[in-house]
Structure 1
Amino acid sequence: MPRPPNLPHPKPTDRRNGIRGRAVARSRGLLSLFVRHKTLANLVLAVMVVAGLYAAPRLRAQFFPDTVIQEIDVDVQWDGAGADDVDRSIIGVLEPALMGVEGVDLTETRATQGAARLRLEFEPDWDMSRAAADVETAISAAGDLPEGAEDPEITRRAWRDSVADVVISGPVGLAQLGRIADDLSNRLYARGVTRLSTVGLSAPETLVELNMADLIRHDVSMEDVATVIGAAAAVTPAGDISSGTARVRTGTETRDPAAVGALVLKAQPDGTQLTVGDVATVSDSGIDRDIAYFVKGQPAVTVAVQRSATGDAIGMQRQVEDAVAQMAPTLPQGVTMELVRARAELISARLDLLLDNAVMGLALVLGLLFLFLNARTAIWVAAGIPASLLAAVALMYAAGMTINMISLFALILTLGIIVDDAIVVGEHADYRARKLGEAPKVAAERAATRMGAPVVSSTLTTVIAFAGLAFIGGRFGRLVSDIPMTVIMVLIASLVECFLILPNHMAHALASSAKVRWYDRPSIVMNRWLDRFVATVIRPLTRFVLLWRYPVLALTIVGLSWSAATLMSGKVPWRFFDAPEQGSVAGNFAMLPVADRDDTLRVMGLVQAAVEKVAAEYEGEYGLNPVTHVMTMVGGNAGRPLPGAETKDADLLGAVQLELIDPDFRPYSSFEFVQALQQAMPTDPRLETISFRGSRSGPGGDAISVRMTGADAIQLKAAAEALKQRLAQSPEVSALEDSMDYDKDELALNLTPQGEALGFTTQSLARELRQRLGGIEAATFPVGTRTGVITVELPEEERRGDFLDSMLMRTASGQWVPLSDIVTVTTEAGFSVVRRENGERMILVTGDISGDDPARAAQITQDLQDNLLPDIAAEYGVLYDVTGLSEQEGEFLSDALAGFALALTGIYMVLAWIFSSWARPLVVMSVIPFGLIGAVWGHDAWQLPLSMFSIVGLIGMSGIIINDSIVLISTIDEYAVDRGLRPAIMDAVADRFRPVLLTTATTVLGLAPLLYERSSQALFLKPTVVTLAYGLAFGMVLVLLVVPAVLAIGADLARMRQGFRRSLATGRAPAMRRAMRMATAAAILAFVVTLLPLAAVAVAGVALPAWWPLAGAGIAFGSYLLLLALVLIGAGVMIRRAATA
């Protein structure tokens, strides 16, 4: 073919000959061995299949991947101390020492009444065993803790994944329910289910209530009584008899009320004995003293089952169901055992959903292959899908991975990607056999050799792109970490199948395809139509693109600019993580201080009646009762407690826990149901507050979370209240609260000179008052799986607010004096909780934003950061940080950007190695940014907000979208050696159109079922599907338009450079300067023509139409700058060509 006069013929040198030649020489022997050996390829296939079948049933199943928590908690109890005292005397001592522990990234402290908690967050991947040892050493080296404070308890936090809760309820006593729960726990322990906890069953408690008057009359202290009881309740082993026939112990177990009451305190002067019963009332306190649970008005207990680190949720729930079924016939009449919050059912349903989509996607891919390839070729190409998937499952099992929503989703993503390599090799083998007439084995071997470099490089670029996701840290990084791992394992397996197994099978398929059979006719008809389409559409289109290369590229950039402007304008909203709802709702309420436990029980009944009423209304409207289970409780809150709940009397707290039907069976979210519940709640003169909250799956934090520092406690509290008031004006915002609640009035007692003269000290007075007001734990003892306790305390009436006037204190000489004579009292107001972060006092404001309108949620978040917080900071003089979900979002995006940059760098290096060129990789990668056009338009078409999973899809797409570009450019470079660039482009586009179409179509069809999936539980994954499906579909068009245009423009630039050098050498520089002046004038004219209308619109305030991406002209104008630069380049080239003509 003659060389066109306007295109210089490239030098007849193959820039890849060096590397490719050596690669071919090394690989040809291996490929030839597998193609020509009768059994070797099938042996490898058998190993892949058998390994996968062995591993599949052994993979652990769970909802989300395990989350590694790099945190250690240090807890210290100091009974009776206020939050400020705990903060000053415990946290003030331990925090400085712990902040110096190596690896600590963040310290958070929380001081409440009688308790301190210090939470240490360590750097990612830090050795937590070493961290625990360092923390213990730091605590040992810290200063002394106050008298009465218990030893610090160090706990490594661990991920707890719930399997199910077994609710046992009925018209029997709690003691009997407890025995049933213990029996169930023992059965589950025997079955290997070891993470169990019984909720709602208080430990047995023997209560010894002393009468202060009797103590004074008999001259006995509370500590004396506690010492006697503790000694009697203990049993001490004393060893074995020398013959070994018996064991000796000292003491007897004195634990029941009668035995405790009979204990002797001391002998009286008249010879009688003073017993505990003479000065105290001894009784079993019963369960009403603590939290009590009810189902339909009957007492209930719950056995919570959690998954161990190596446990399988589905298998564990099966064990629970079997144990419950075995116990059901033996239960007392009216007692029931019900499984609620069964996560395994949810996991199974979601995994089945994804598997159904996978099967449908596989069927679509197979159907497409049969349309374009002959039946035998299609079968062997498609056989690589299950073989690669099974091999990947075996690799996942070996790596300790699990089957969960994320890893299974990653497997579905690869359905179409797996077959890409096989399509390229198989299609080329079919081409060589049909068009070139090569023998089957020769065609298969040469196809694998010829496509080796493009296929390996495209696989490497995809691996590198998904590996970029591994650089994302934090909890969300760990959430998506299974995606790159799974995809990489599948691609490795597909590469093995493509080059070691497929060529052998293709040789047999090509040998048998000489005779046309009936089932080959669809592919014959389709390929004839495709050949006509290539001849009548693709070739003329490519010729048009080469001729009008600058306008084509300019229009593509316009599309990119328009998409970017649409994204920046918020027309396609952003929502970082839309976690799937769990269908669990918790409602907490608190009573006024004048109420008692009976009032709480009464309001609990009203709350349950209101729940039943709302459920009936929803059933009447939608035909299905949304509530499947209701449990009420008194004595505490459920889930996340109300603000200040820790300072309230437990008898004044209550809750209701609801389980709703699956979200897929109701046309409303749990948050809509929560709003209806909140509005339907009854009013009661003794009810203080009631609040409902829904729950979601997965990691994350509060949608609104603001940390304020830099001021005293009063100012921080005022700033938090102001922020809550302003946020509450938005109806989409709910559950607003802050972390600093007002405490009870604190009475500060100071010794008078008289008290000091009588021998009292601050320490002795504090110890005595702590014992009288808080009681003394005299003894503990095991009772089944719980721990019983004997408590010595004063009656409630002697511990009320007027105790100062009635309480008598014993001096060292035995004299009893009124407490009011030896102390002075001042009243101080404080806060129930003192929080610090890295040593600085802080307050945290949190809340939730309804996810029903992502655009509105994004608007509220933006307004919070741009307006509300700066105004609050200026008004109250505080500093602020946005934390919670927003903080994790920033970290995720920062890490994602770094991972994307590293992935692009790696892709460039691989392409530079493959093409032996610095410029060719840029041409291949030029299609990457344009994939954003399809992604944005896809989200807009499906009315989906961009999310973190959209980012995951974009990063992954950057490696996939260039695969077709690699194959195309490789073919162009090969053809250009002896055909010239323009004919090479046209021939390569025509020849490679079928594999480009097939690889794109199979990937998109593999994802299509998920694209149309309506399940709410898969909705959070759909942004990735939309990004890949629309981005890759649009990317195929870009490969056919942008790559030829960029290659032709590159040739123009090279010719310009050569012409400029020649003009300088021949003295024709003035002509060049005239051309450049003309180009500059054209640029200024284009600038004015573009800028003036936009500026006029902005100045005049004219309302732009709804389809315009931005309300202002600034960003739009900036977006068009790139387009103008490209037009200027084109103008310069055209002017230069005219000048040299």
Structure 2
Amino acid sequence: MNRSIAWFARNGAVANLLMITLLLAGLMAIPHTRQETLPNVPLDRIGIYVAWPQATPESVEAMVCTPVETAIDDVEGGTELISEAREGLCSVQLDVLKGHDTRTVLEQIRTRLEGLDSLPGDAERPRVQELIVRNRVVRLLLSGSLSRQDIYQLAHQVRRQLLNHDAVSSVDIENLPEREMALTVARDDLYRYQLTLEGMAAAARESVERIAGGLLRSDRGDWLLQTGQQPGDAAAYEQLVIRQSEQGDLLRLGDVAQIEDGFSRDSQAAWLDGKPAVALDVYRVGDQNVLDVAGAVSGYLQEAELPRGVALRVWSDDAAQFRERSHLLWRNALQGLVLLTLMLGVFLTLRLAGWVALGIPVCMLGACALLPVLGESFNTISLFAFILVLGIVVDDAVIVGESIDHQRRQGGMSGQEAAIAGAQRVSRPILFAVLTTLFAFAPLLFLPGPEGALMRVIPIVSMAILVLSLVESLWILPSHLSYDRPARGIWRQSEQLSTRINAGLDRWLEYRARPLLRRSLRWRYVLVVVFVGLFIFCCALVNSGWLTMVLFSRVEGDRVMAEVVFPQGTGEARLLREVQALEGSARKLSAQLQADDQPVTVDAVFAEQGVRQKTSNARDPGARFRVRVTLAIGGDTSAMPPRELASLWRKQHGSIADALSVKFHASLMQVKPDIHVNLFHPDLATLQRLSEQTALALSRMEGVHEVANNLYARRTIVDIGLREEGKLAGLRAEQLGLQIRNAFHGIELDRWFEQDQEVPVMLRLASGDSRRISDLERLPVQLPDGEITVLAAVADLNRRQVPAMISHYDGRRSATVSAFVDEHMTSPAQVMTVLREQVLAPMQTADEQAGWTVAGKQAAIQDFLDHLSISYLIALAAIFFLLTVLFGGYGQPLLVMAAIPFGMVGAFMGHFLLGYSLTLWSLVGVIAVSGVVVNDNLVLIDAINSFRAHGMRLRDAVIEGVSGRLRPVMLTSITTFAGVAPLMLETSVQARFLIPMAVSLAFGVLFATLVSLLLVPCLLVVSHDVRALQQRWLDRWRAPDASEGDTVEVAYERGRLTIWWGASNPYEDPVLHSAWEAGRQDQGQGSTDLL
């Protein structure tokens, strides 16, 4: 190492070439590196979906979900298995264990399900897919006073035009039901013409069926032959012949059926400020650049030609968020760099500070060059990692620069010699400091789940920059600081200012710091107790819930959203009424804000009915019964935060008694409940009772709102049982069920393509004859002899209530109870403590079959912390090994390690004082603080050891070591603080989720300075006290050295003392030998008596 430092210092051209290479490589890599809002995160999750149209949840559970679970529950690589049985659909999700290939597990599942022959005959084939995150870039809203058919055509036209751009590959249309052509027949017409839907369907299929007739090989070429032709429109279907009388009269489909060429009966619709609207979501695919996609959309909007009265606007722009976050982070990085350089210029010379600060862009751009090589991108998280290490990366250069400056100030050396000597003097501790920091960041590479994958880029970027900082500080910086020319002009003035400041610092050190340190060493035990007390206080803050722990902090945007989920089967009229009510309460709130002269305004209201969750490619069975109203707000949101506006809207609107769940929020990200409990019991009725008790207990707690119970929703089922009359007529239950299904669900006659989607042609009973229970009783039923009767004559109808959804968790029936917690009034930990003591524990005691577990956000936090704890302990063991290699013993490494927990004290206190919750990003800052603590104390103890090697007493060595390290420790702490201070003080919405990390690092390094300058010196002296006490204790019991000239009394006393450590008899003289043994035996007997 020393030889390479000297070689680069003497060959400045090579050092400059290395620096230029790193700079140019980074600048060239930036345009070619993928840019995205968030990194692509694998979910490691597989979805299995089996549709069984119109089947009840009970039937789906028993005949679909249970067989599928049984078939795949022991698949290799699978872990958590969750299934939901709903009306007509079984959805199963299987999480894949870390280390297993998701594609391999998916193929195993697909193979097993292909051999599954126990599913109902009319159920669709299982669809198996890997669930992946979809990255939406832009949401466009197309609105105007148009019919649904016209807005459908226009939306597809806009979609095709967007897809014509090379940068756009995926556009989804939302808020429109799927296309469908429905042929509906009135009940009276079935009686009049003595028809059945099954007979009509068979006749129509004969007319539209296409049959290949082979080839006609003519002289002009081969011609394909085909019989039958697909109807092209509704008029063509009306002409299809379904019966011919004996007189030759033709009965056509149009004579008995009403043809509706429109949309399916799914209740999807949207309105923007009262006008019909649809949303077009543009997604980024693969390695596409988010800014390129957004640029293509922006260019299209400028050129788009739309009909009069139609508007196309941007509703949400993730690319704009990425731009704002990128500008924010780069601006804060630049501000931090300027502050850092100024701080260095105050304590060092401006010339030295400039060369030290130059190392920052060298390391940063060098890391940018490595990003595409490592498969990473520029995103919010990776840019955040650059700021995280902004203050840390300069620590090595500060230590080297300060050491070189110290050698230069002593005189007697040329500039090159001072640079080589100064760098070599600190090269060993710097090398180990970087290695220990790398190990400190390593645990972040192995965190579980999507959250762990999301932040994996942080340690990758940080480690790359730290390695490059070692290269820059030891190979490039000494060459730049090898100058001999005297400073002139501003550089001379800078040196004079630095000399005066350092002289003042030396005086302060001599007359203030040294006496303070001496007093601290005298009161060392009190000081250690104070630090330990602060550590215990911070632990108590977390355990008591005063300092809450959340996975991700809620980041507010310029949208306030209300989302309501209704039970499956809720009528379309009820959904529409709730949409109108939410829109009305929003407009009333807007008018109230204007009347009160509030600076916040509601600029637009976007209402949706039938909302799909689009965070991944998973199917969303509950989309039909979900409504959402979103407010675009403007004005000064600092006077009234969006979360407060959401709270006012919630109070304004009131409760919704028949809803499954209600959310009013202003978060940019998907909101997950703070409380999420899974309850288990094999009996469905008992499980429902337990879930209701749990939900009721939560609703009564202060600060808990929006309580949801997935078994609350009930579905009315009409059980149709064949009567004796029907059985005597030869009717079977299967035949009866098929006729009922054909009447109400419909028969698919044909399927054709339009606007890139399939359009089914369905034949069913007219909607006017299929709305009431009386319509069901009068349904025409064909008997085996051809006669037609009504359903009530051959079957009994009984109504009952069942859960709308039945879920399983790892094969057990489960219910989910969830709730949100107002963190200003209580905490999730406190709520769970009360719930566990008052409800869950007594419930499990009273019924052995009952069980419960924490799931959702709480389970993710606990799993995350468990993995982080284990990985961090392994990292600490590796750091301890490195320190043992450096110091050649166990005592001093333990002292350095003992200071690490105290680095958390500053981070936790900062969160507590500023009112922030601990988040995942807070823990990242704590890990960074751990590296700073280790680095400072490692170099400090190395300096103290150097003074001790020259024969100095311990206390004097400690005082001299701390005095000598005061300036570099203060510099590293100040520069680290300055690096993140702009981000910590940022008020932008885009920075709020990063502020906890900045708080951890800023307050952590400030407290770490006290740890290094006060606690560690005291611990060194305390450890010396302990060793001295141990030595005195041993000396008290140690006998004098044996000699053949000893008397019998001396030999006896020696034998008595050596009982404590089992020494052997040292005497050869028989008398002395016997006296020694006698003393040993007497002492042994006394010890036995004491025991």
Aligned with 1:493 (options 454, 463, 468): 468
Q: 2:412 matched to which residue of 1?
A: 437
Describe the SS at the equivalent of 1:390: helix
The CA distance in 1 between the partners of 2:244 and 2:537, in whole Å, is 96
- Residue in structure 2 matching 1:525, options 494, 500, 503: 500
Aligned-pair Cα RMSD in Å: 3.3
- What is the aligned counterpart of 2:681 among 704, 710, 713? 710
Provide the residue aligned with 1:724 in structure 2: 695
> What is the distance in 2 between the residues matched to 1:190 and 1:285?
27
Equivalent residue for 1:1020, pick from 980, 988, 993: 993
Distance in 1 between the 2:138 and 2:1053 partners?
A: 83
Q: Which moved more, 1:1050-1059 or 1:370-379?
A: 1050-1059
Q: 1:179 aligns with which of 123, 142, 153?
A: 153
Contact 1:201 / 1:301 at 8 angstroms: preserved in 2? yes
Give, in angstroms, the shift of residue 868 of structure 1.
Answer: 3.8
Superposed displacement of residue 289, structure 1:
6.9
Counterparts of residues 113-132 of structure 1 (less than 5 Å)? 113-132=87-106
* 2:1017 paired residue number: 1044
Is 1:82 aligned with 2:56?
A: yes
Alignment-mate amino acid for residue 351 of structure 1: S
The aligned amino acid for 2:1026 is L
Q: Distance in 2 between matches of 1:924 and 1:654?
A: 56
Residues of 1 paired with 2:699 and 2:985: CA distance?
37
Query: How far 1:914 moved relative to its partner?
Result: 1.7
Q: Which amino acid aligns with 1:704?
A: I
> Aligned residue for 2:911?
939
Q: Does 1:1031 align with 2:1008?
A: no
Code of the residue aligned with 1:157 in structure 2: it is L
Structure 2 residue aligned with 1:990: 963
Q: 1:235·1:252 contact (CA, 8 Å) conserved in 2?
A: yes
Q: Deviations over 1:715-738 (max 9, x none)?
A: 222222222223223453222221
Count of aligned residue pairs for this structure pair? 1035
Report SS of the residue matched to 1:401.
coil
Aligned partner of 1:42 among 8, 12, 16: 16
Q: For the structure 1 residues 388 and 283, does the alpha-carbon distance in structure 2 shift closer, same or farther, using more than 3 Å as the test?
A: same
Aligned pair in 2 of structure 1 residues 1053, 407: CA closer, same or farther (>3 Å)?
Answer: same
The alpha-carbon distance between structure 1 residues 713 and 171, as it changes in their structure 2 partners (threshold 3 A), is same
Contact (CA 8 Å) 2:567, 2:714: kept in 1 or not?
Answer: no
1:264 aligns with 2:241: yes
Report % sequence identity.
26
Q: Deviation string for 1:986-1023 (max 9, x for gaps)?
A: 32222222211111111111121122223344333323
What does residue range 140-219 of structure 1 map to in structure 2 within 5 Å?
140-191=114-165, 192-215=167-190, 218=193
Contact 1:573 1:855 (C-alpha < 8 Å) held by counterparts: no
Task: State which drifts further: 234-243 or 300-309.
Answer: 234-243
- Give the 3-state SS of the residue equivalent to 1:411 in structure 2: helix
Aligned mate of 1:696, from 667, 690, 694: 667
SS, match of residue 745 in structure 1:
strand
**Pairing of 1:854-1003 with structure 2 (within 5 A):** 855-856=826-827, 858-873=829-844, 878-982=850-954, 983-1003=956-976
Alignment of 1:610 onto 2:585: yes
Tell me, which stretches of 5 or more residues in structure 1 are unaligned? Answer: 1-26, 1073-1141
Provide the residue aligned with 1:94 in structure 2.
68
Secondary structure, counterpart of 1:464 in structure 2:
helix
Counterparts in 2 of 1:1029-1108, with a 5 A limit?
1029-1066=1002-1039
Q: Secondary structure at the match of 2:50?
A: strand
Is the Cα–Cα contact under 8 Å of residues 567 and 713 in structure 2 kept in the other structure?
Answer: no
Q: Distance in 2 between matches of 1:30 and 1:780?
A: 75
- Over 3 Å counting, the alpha-carbon distance change for 1:964 and 1:390 in structure 2 is same
Contact map agreement 1:585 1:692 (CA 8 A) in 2: no
Partner of 2:398: 423
**Residue identity matched to 1:674:** A
CA distance in 1, matches of 2:665, 2:119: 41
Equivalent AA in structure 2 for residue 453 of structure 1: R
**In 2 relative to 1, CA 48–637 (structure 1 residues): closer, same or farther, beyond 3 Å?**
closer
Aligned to 1:841: 813
Q: How is 1:536-935 mapped onto 2 (pairs within 5 angstroms)?
A: 536-587=511-562, 604-621=579-596, 623-634=598-609, 655-661=627-633, 665-681=637-653, 691-694=662-665, 696-698=667-669, 701-730=672-701, 732-799=703-770, 800-803=772-775, 805-851=777-823, 853=824, 855-856=826-827, 858-873=829-844, 878-935=850-907
Aligned equivalent of 2:371: 396
The Cα shift of 1:1032 comes to 1.6
Structure 1 residue 863: Cα displacement: 2.3
Q: Which has the higher contact order (CA 8 A, sep 6+)?
A: 1
Structure 2 distance, partners of 1:546, 1:823, is 95
User: Is 1:225 equivalent to 2:230 in the alignment?
Assistant: no
Q: Separation in 1 of the partners of 2:943 and 2:612? A: 68
CA shift, 1:522, in A, is 1.9
Residues 528-565 of structure 1, C-alpha deviation per residue, up to 9 Å, x if partnerless? Answer: 11222222223333433444444443443344344444
Residue in structure 2 matching 1:52, options 26, 34, 37: 26
CA distance in 1: counterparts of 2:995 and 2:859, whole angstroms: 24
TM-score (norm 2): 0.88
Amino acid at match of 1:163: V
Residues 523 and 871 of structure 1: CA distance in aligned 2, closer, same or farther (over 3 Å):
same
Contact 1:542 1:1041 in 2 (8 A): yes
- The amino acid of 1:790's aligned partner reads V
Amino acid at match of 2:586: V
Once the two structures are TM-superposed, the CA of residue 85 in structure 1 deviates from its matched residue by 0.9
Q: Distance in 2 between matches of 1:474 and 1:832?
A: 30
Per-residue CA deviations over 1:855-875 (Å, capped at 9, x if unaligned) read: 455533432333343345557
- How far has the Cα of 1:309 moved from its partner? 3.6
CA separation of 1:570 and 1:734: change in aligned 2, threshold 3 A: closer
* Cα deviations by residue, 1:68-91 (Å, 9 ceiling, x for unpaired): 211111111112211111111111
Q: Is the 8 A contact 2:445 2:452 kept in 1?
A: yes
Partner in structure 1 of residue 983 of structure 2: 1010
SS at the partner of 2:1003? helix
Q: Which moved more, 1:664-673 or 1:789-798?
A: 664-673
Contact conserved, 1:638 with 1:657, CA < 8 A, in 2? Answer: no
Distance 1:117 1:572 in 2: 38
- The reply on whether 1:459 has 2:434 as its aligned counterpart is yes
2-structure distance, mates of 1:753, 1:559: 82
The DSSP-based 3-state class of the residue aligned with 1:147 is coil
8 A contact 2:568–2:715 mirrored in 1: no
1:571 to partner: Cα distance: 4.3
CA–CA separation in structure 1 for the residues paired with 2:472 and 2:566: 68
Deviation at 1:682, TM superposition (A): 8.6
Aligned residue type for 2:475: L
Three-state SS of the structure 1 residue aligned to 2:762 is: strand
Bigger Cα displacement from structure 2, 720-729 vs 254-263: 720-729
Deviations 1:148-170 (A, max 9, x none): 11111112111122222111111
Q: Distance in 2 between matches of 1:785 and 1:906?
A: 58
Q: Secondary structure at the match of 1:397?
A: coil
CA contact (8 A) 1:723 1:872 kept: no
CA separation of 1:174 and 1:1026: change in aligned 2, threshold 3 A? same
Separation in 2 of the partners of 1:80 and 1:258? 30
Q: Is the 8 A contact 1:234 1:252 kept in 2?
A: yes
What is the rounded CA distance, in whole Å, between the counterparts of 2:601 and 2:654 in structure 1?
20
Residue 354 of structure 1 deviates from its aligned partner by 2.3
Please say if residues 599 and 639 of structure 2, whose CA atoms lie closer than 8 Å, have aligned partners that are also in contact.
no
**In structure 2, do the counterparts of structure 1 residues 62 and 657 end up closer, same or farther at CA, with 3 Å as the change threshold?**
farther
State the Cα distance separating 1:326 from its structure 2 match: 1.1
The match for 1:1111 is none
Change (3 A) 1:424 1:249: farther
Structure 2 Cα separation of the partners of residues 700 and 780 of structure 1: 39
Kindly state the Cα deviation for residue 764 of structure 1 after the two structures are TM-superposed: 2.4
Shift, 1:424, TM fit: 1.0
Q: Do the aligned partners of residues 207 and 506 (structure 1) sit closer, same or farther apart at CA in structure 2, a change above 3 Å counting?
A: same
